[in-house]
Structure 1
Amino acid sequence: MIDIHKLKAFVAVVEESNISKAAQRLHMQQPPLTRLIQSLEQELNTALLKRLPRGVEVTEAGKALYQEAVTILAHASVIPQRVHNIAQGKEGQLNIGFTHSIGLHPFLPTLLRQFRENFPAVSIRLEEDSSSVLIDAVMNEKLDIAFVRKPASMQTQLQSTHVLDEPLVVALPSNHPLAEQSGNIQLKDLEPYEFVLYRRLGGQDLFDNILANCYQAGFSPNIVQEAPRLTSCLNLIAAGIGLSIVPISIQDIWNKQIVYRTLTAKKPNIAPIYAIYRSDENIRVRHVLELFATLHRPI
């Protein structure tokens, strides 16, 4: 392996075309510089310079080495800064997971936009899946952080940070009897009607949250249809199949043939969002968590 110090010396000699001037540029004496060049030629077993009465001339082999040396030295010069940037979380990759319902909330693009503005050299990989798959991915270090609807189990050695609480609203077909009444709707008033819900397999936390709210209101919802995604759930509602309870953020992106009404009950109807990450979270995850403190809530 060629010594970087020797390459620097050689590049200086080539660019100055004079060993004395190169020595001055490198702040060293001429004899040690001459020995460095001779050592480099011996190491490569070839002449790199032609000694002239007033300077030196680069040989063909020397020109080839010069081109390579310039590239190597340029790359070497940025290594310390890049290593520092990685250590400070200013470069590298951040792997983020989120459930489908959270992907529809404006907090996520707001967070990602702010992160990109603060750390433009960090690449972001996004993954959407069910909460159980996302939590497993965080545990197995395939994801750095995931946004889900409930905190991580205390037994998983994962950390949880509460991000926000999103209100739940009732989504009704536009021709539904309850759609005609103004104002809030009591959760208990939904008991006689048929429900369409986001399938538990895809949105377990949200599904369980909705059922828990209904149970606390004193009834078990009559679920006639489950949909694989919230957006397909809304298609079924618009078709008049049934009503549903959905996060409030959904009403901003879908209002065709659907009426949204605020729900009231003894206990607030909310769907929380949590950030899940490993106890030994990396510096880039820490930057994400710090953004929670700077962005106004609800985001």
Structure 2
Amino acid sequence: MLDLETMRTFTKVVECNSFSKAAKLLYKTPAAISYRIKSLEDSLGTQLFERTTRTVSLTLAGQHLYERCCQWLAWLTTMPEELQQISDGVERRINIAINNLLFDPDAVADLLVHFKERFPFTQFNLTRQVYMGVWDSLLHGEFHMAIGATGWESLDNMINIYPFGEVSWEFVVAKNHPLTRINGKLSNDVLRNYPAINVEDTSTHMTKRIAWLLPGQSEIIVPSLKTKVACHLKGLGIGFIPKTICQPYVDKGELIKCDVVNERKPSQLSLAWKKANMGKVMNEIVGLFRNHHPITHPFLKNIDKKIS
């Protein structure tokens, strides 16, 4: 009903918008092309083309079939290489969660370019997660690896860990914020008068963590670290920002460091990956980080205390 030759004939008619033009390109007679398409429509019990004396156009059913035929023909073209890649131990799909603290769009793009050149038939899915959302994606989702799992110890004996180092935090406020006019260490009683700016933990199965929030303090939830910095700059609230991120703004006088009674401890981050079914792609990613390949450096730029 829908053999390879029929699919090629059908798609060529669509692309040429003409039976006669398609026939010329396929070295067939227009009658042969017309007969094959009519036989296809009869076998499907569905009209695929609207015909006039000069042109043909797709029906909605024809449009759907055309999209599917293009996918099938493309897959048939690459199928031998794709099967060979799978036979060689290359994963068909890799899902990677990236901690919000380490997420960098350019770094992600460069990593994808690197791997799509080497493993063109592997499908990559990379997402940004916050706090325990990183571990959640590994333990309760279909993710194979996490760049920036919290902690230096695995939460599961089926997941390997390679520690990166620590992200240090600075308590900062906008240059004109009222807190900048107070001398000495700022007490919790003073701080709770101003809203905390936080990025919400993306975990859905594990207990969410709150970055920093005092009892009785109001909170503003934002979608990303970049948004949190913007809110600090506009004086909307207070809180801790990674040292490497806030330092340029501190140097320009746009953000001011403040001493607070309870400093935030550094965040320990690691590369984490599932031991089961590791193929060539997973092994290479782990190798890139273990060997400190330059392509991994942008992911680690916010880690100011690295483990060598």
Instruction: Provide TM-score, normalisation by structure 2.
Output: 0.50
Tell me the distance in 1 between the aligned counterparts of 2:86 and 2:149. 36
Q: Which amino acid aligns with 1:82?
A: Q
The answer on whether the counterparts of 1:165 and 1:270 sit within 8 Å (CA) in structure 2 is: yes
Q: CA–CA distance in 2 between the matches of 1:277 and 1:196?
A: 33
Q: 1:223 aligns with which of 217, 220, 224?
A: 217
Contact 1:195 1:222 in 2 (8 A): no
Deviation at 1:167, TM superposition (A): 1.7
Say which of 281, 285, 289 aligns to 1:288: 285
Residue in 2 that maps onto 1:10: none
CA RMSD across the alignment = 4.6
1:173 correspondence with 2:169: no
Shift of 1:164: 2.9
Q: Distance in 1 between matches of 2:259 and 2:93?
A: 41
2:196 aligned residue: 196
SS in 1 for 2:289: helix
Aligned-partner SS, 2:235:
coil
Q: Is the 8 A contact 1:98 1:131 kept in 2?
A: no
Deviation at 1:279, TM superposition (A): 2.6
2:236, 2:79 → 1: CA distance? 65
Q: Which residue identity lines up with residue 169 of structure 1 in the other structure? A: E
1:153–1:76 CA distance, 2 compared to 1 (3 A): closer
What is the alpha-carbon distance in structure 1 between the residues aligned to residue 288 and residue 259 of structure 2? 31
Percent identity over the alignment is 11
How many Å apart are 1:225 and its aligned residue? 1.9
CA distance in 2, matches of 1:274, 1:224: 31
Given candidates 273, 277, 290, the residue that maps to 1:277 is 273
Q: 1:52 maps to which residue? A: none
Q: Within 2, Cα distance between the matches of 1:291 and 1:166?
A: 21
**8 Å Cα contact 1:162-1:273 kept in structure 2:** yes
Q: CA–CA distance in 1 between the matches of 2:78 and 2:112?
A: 27
Matched, 1:237 2:236: no
Matched, 1:246 2:247: no
Q: Distance in 1 between matches of 2:97 and 2:143?
A: 7
CA distance in 1 between partners of 2:245 and 2:263 (Å): 21
Distance, in Å, in 2 between the alignment partners of 1:131 and 1:95 is: 18
Match of 1:128 in 2: 128
The aligned runs of 1:49-64 (5 Å cut-off) are none
1:110 aligns with 2:113: no
Deviation at 1:123, TM superposition (A): 4.0
**Structure-1 separation of matches of 2:241 and 2:178:** 18
Instruction: Classify the secondary structure of the residue corresponding to 1:102.
Output: coil
Displacement of 1:273: 2.2
Superposed displacement of residue 292, structure 1: 1.4
Could you tell me the TM-score, scaled by structure 1's length?
Answer: 0.51
Q: In the alignment, is the contact (CA less than 8 A) between 2:148 and 2:271 conserved in 1?
A: yes
Determine helix, strand or coil for the equivalent of 2:218: strand
Structure 2: distance between partners of 1:206 and 1:247 = 20
Note closer, same or farther for the CA distance 1:111–1:145 as it changes in structure 2 (3 Å cut): same
CA distance in 2, matches of 1:227, 1:242: 11
The unaligned stretches of length 5 or more in structure 1 are 1-72, 212-219
Whichever of the two has the greater Rg, that structure is: 1
Deviation for aligned residue 1:259 = 0.3
Aligned mates of 1:209, 1:76 — CA distance in 2: 48
1:53 matched residue in structure 2? none
Tell whether the 8 Å contact from 2:170 to 2:243 is kept in structure 1 after alignment.
yes
